[in-house]
Amino acid sequence: MYGESLAVQRLPINLPNKHYVNFHAHQTVNKVLARQNVEKTQLTAWFNYNSTHDNGLNLTYWQFPQYYTWNAKAKSWYPRWQAKVIRRMYFVLLSKEEQFFLQLLLTIFEGEKSWEHLRTWNM
């Protein structure tokens, strides 16, 4: 691996409508919430991608960055040209039960299309 650089893709775990939003101290709450795509996260964009495309349905959220790249400005996923990436899912403490079990589900189930789709499972 000498001379090669690998991209590191961090995957945040957030519950519905409970994600981090960056803003400057001088901005008002209304101005921050009015921004375009403020509600989009990597996780919700993964749901959206799986809802509109069939080519990523065999991948879990954790596997997805190996074949797709996150565009932070557009807040969406695109097919990856360079195959080498290190994937890192943020650590979640067991004491944050709902978020912890969400992380487990995201490492097991493939091609989830929404929060509701993730919560339901047919045997």
In eight-state DSSP terms, residue 93 is -
What digits encode the pLDDT tens for the residues 76-112? 999 988 767 777 788 888 898 888 998 888 888 999 9
Contact 74, 93 (CB under 8 A): no
What is the residue extent of each domain of the chain?
7-119
Closest-CA residue to 16 (of 119, 92, 109, 86): 119
What's the CA gap between 57 and 53, in Å, rounded? Answer: 8
Token code pair at residue 39: 């509600």
What digits encode the pLDDT tens for the residues 58-71? 999 989 988 898 88
pTM: 0.78
